[in-house]
Chains A and B, each alone.
Chain A
Amino acid sequence: MLKSYMILSIILFSIGVVGLISRRNIIVIYMSIELLLNAVNLSLIAISADLGESSGQIISLIIIAIAASEAALFMALFVVLFRNRGSLDANLFDILGEKHD
């Protein structure tokens, strides 16, 4: 049973990586990152249930807290970037590479 959980977690992680690399919409990129975190959580919880040790659940609880703070920062970034560029295209967001004189 643990093996099927691990395989499902690998499949979800790969789907998340594919979405992260190939899409240009920043909201979809953000949700792919969340999918990566969820795949890791799933494997952690499966392992902790298999070992009968609740430390894995604590780690995934901390990961959920980190994901929540990441969500707050990403939402602020979406609002700022959409206000400045008027688009959700990740290729347009090159503010750090611009020359300002």
Chain B
Amino acid sequence: MSVPAIAAGRERRQPAIERYLNILGPLAMIVAIGVVMAIFEPRFFRITNIRIILQDAAIYMVLGMAMTLVITGAGIDLSIGSISALSAIIMAIFIKDLNVAVYAAMLMALIVGVGCGLVNGLIITLLRVPDLITTLSMDLVFRGLALVLAAGAVLQRFPEPIPAIGRGRILNDTIPIPIVIGLVVLLIGVFIYRYTPLGRYAIAIGGNRESAMLSGINVRRNKVYHYMLMGGAAGLAGIMLTGRLNAVQATVAEGFALHTIAAVVVGGTVLFGGRGTMAGTLVGVILLSMVTNALVILRMAFFWQLVAAGVIIVVSVAFYSYLERRGKGGSE
């Protein structure tokens, strides 16, 4: 056995095809949907429609980045929809009822999000309540608080930059701002994954909690960080959603958690932790948005979206299981 790779001193990477084998599955599905739509409904490919797809995907890019980290660390967060709603409602009340400056109110939304994540993290690590149960319960708590605070009101017409964040465009009115935000957040996710202890420890904690602990990693503290980041992302998603509709009520963002988890898992992040990719999450988010959009354009009843989403998740995970058996499960 020789070690030329090391002697050469240059980074020798796995061939790209192997590294990204895990997102070839969802990519293939994206192509398949493209082909089907090209045949049945060419309007699917209009710029305006593609923009709609990406705009829908943007919020899930933000949520998906943090969820990738949470799931990699063998956690799960079912409370993100409620966190988004609570953050947005508090921001809206600050602006509309308390006349707080818009940027201060937006900052408040992020703080509320991070705070909710902190609560989740502390319950999980200090009280040792399983991640699933904690976030399922706190989903009710946060949603309840949002409903209490909003008292049935729909708050609308927010000052800039909130509408811009949700539906504005830059570069000659071409690129939607939410897409830019989504991609920047995902890039930050790539950075966290590759270049920070936070990302590396998430892989270690999710892959082998005991090994992580024996390596001197503070497992509980890192778990709390994951949920705080997730909460902050949910707060940002709440601002984006408020901007997109230019209105908010306490019942918004109901399906955020399951849609985000589905996108992350479709993208190849292993639900039991230890492995995940931001690139895969991007692909998963776009795939799910495409499916939703395609069914709308084909005028299928909304309920078919549920059927399609379920089928896609099962097919993707079956694909990963197949790769696993071949011993080529990938990760970043």
Please indicate whether A and B come from the same complex rather than being unrelated chains: no
